[in-house]
């Protein structure tokens, strides 16, 4: 990944970061904020172009297409994976272009690290819901929160309950 275009992009990025850090002055009146807005927009476009250039060098076409699809379906996750690939590319962790299978492996690793599981223990003795009602409720919550939810039923205490109307 040591080609001249990547070096040029890195130099541009460093120059924009230095300009951003050192260029805090310039409040000369009403036109200054308009120029600042245009400057910020121009910098953002340059950063986006640099990011796309690095991603096109780091990923093959199939992997790039998969990443774009992911970014459309799940923008937060797509942004997180893009940033991870950018860090890997700029730090030299990538030897060549990442294939689609390597990207899938990276996605699986990230998914495993960020998986959240919630367990709900339902004591049938205290609840007034049937098991099917509770399972339906948990499925609705899981769909909305995108979290894996499991339920455990404690039937031992329910067996001691003589006034259980469910059976």
Specify the pLDDT at position 149.
Answer: 58
Selection from 63, 46, 56 nearest residue 10 by Cα: 46
CATH no., domain 4-113: 1.10.8.140
H-helix or E-strand containing 2?
A: none
**How much is the mean pLDDT over the chain?**
76
Mean pLDDT of 98-115: 87
Categorize the per-residue pLDDT at 85 as very low, low, confident or very high, splitting at 50, 70 and 90: very high
Residue 21 CA to chain centroid, in angstroms? Answer: 27
Tell me the whole-structure pTM to 2 decimals: 0.50
**Could you tell me the residue ranges of all domains in the chain?**
4-113, 117-160
Selection from 111, 54, 47 nearest residue 82 by Cα: 54
Regarding predicted confidence, which is higher, 124 or 78?
Answer: 78
Q: What is the rounded distance in angstroms from the CA atom of residue 127 to the CA atom of residue 135?
A: 13
Categorize the per-residue pLDDT at 164 as very low, low, confident or very high, splitting at 50, 70 and 90: low
Partners of 120 in the beta sheet?
A: 151
What does DSSP assign to residue 3?
-
Residue 28 pLDDT more than 70? no
């Amino acid at each position: 990944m040591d080609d001249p275009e990547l070096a040029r992009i890195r130099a541009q990025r460093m120059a924009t970061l230095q300009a951003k850090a050192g260029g805090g002055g310039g409040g000369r009146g009403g036109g200054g904020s308009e120029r600042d807005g245009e400057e910020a927009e121009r910098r953002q476009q340059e950063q986006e172009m640099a990011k796309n250039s690095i991603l096109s060098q780091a990923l093959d076409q199939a992997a790039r297409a998969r990443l774009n699809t992911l970014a459309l379906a799940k923008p937060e996750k797509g942004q997180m994976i893009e940033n991870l690939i950018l860090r890997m590319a700029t730090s030299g962790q990538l030897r060549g272009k990442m294939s689609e299978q390597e990207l899938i492996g990276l996605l699986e690793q990230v998914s495993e690290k960020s998986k959240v599981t919630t367990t709900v223990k339902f004591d049938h003795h205290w609840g007034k819901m049937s098991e099917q009602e509770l399972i339906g409720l948990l499925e609705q919550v899981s769909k909305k929160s995108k979290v894996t939810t499991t339920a455990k039923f404690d039937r031992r205490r329910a067996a001691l309950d003589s006034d259980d109307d469910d059976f």
